Amino acid sequence: METQEITVVQVLIDKIIPPKHPAGETDVQCWVDALRGAGGLQQPLRVQRTGDERFEIIEALGAECYAACKQIGMATIPVIIVSEIDGAAMWAEAGSIEDQLRRPKLPISMRVKLVARLKDLYEELYPETKHGVMPV
């Protein structure tokens, strides 16, 4: 297995395109509390570069995390710029989701979103596990 170096960079929050789906207030408040308790964002968000030198978040809970970072006044956010969705990036996201699922006071609404994203990742990595797919 080949080892791949991952670089974390700080990106101005204004360079990040707000997520398309709205964040729930309860979930955002949970993130705000976690960010304040931890002294900021501990794990970088995964983003893709757009054509206009901006970035789009590709995280399961990206909307909630982004809104919380804005709310507490963060000027920059640590990110990993993913050039394309590949197996390594999907495994990294799955690991991040599993870490978040271990949080003891994770609201059920966030847990549901994370489990759904984890299922999607697993089915992308292992297409034969999708419901209704017959093995050949």
According to the model, what pLDDT value does residue 134 have?
A: 60
**Strand 45-49 with 55-57, pairing:** antiparallel
> What per-residue confidence (pLDDT) applies to 74?
93
pTM exceeds 0.75, yes or no: no
CATH code where residue 21 lies? 3.90.1530.10
Residue 79, SS3 per DSSP: strand
Residue 8 has pLDDT above 70, yes or no: yes
Question: Per-residue pLDDT tens for 45-70?
Answer: 888 888 788 988 877 678 888 889 99
Residue 86 has what pLDDT?
Answer: 63
Residue-level pLDDT at 106: 78
Determine which of 49-53, 105-109, 111-115, 126-130 has the lowest per-residue pLDDT on average: 126-130
Instruction: State the total domains in the chain.
Output: 1
Q: Is residue 2 part of a domain?
A: no
The answer to whether residue 1 sits within a structural domain is no
Q: How confident is the model at residue 4 (pLDDT cuts 50, 70, 90)?
A: low
Tokens representing 122 are 């697993």
Average pLDDT over residues 75-102: 78
- Residue 131 to residues 2, 127, 135: CA-CA distances in angstroms? 31, 9, 11
Q: Is residue 134 part of a domain?
A: no
Range of the domain at 54: 8-128
Instruction: Output the pLDDT for position 85.
Output: 56
Asked if 31 contacts 41 with a C-beta cutoff of 8 angstroms, the reply is: no
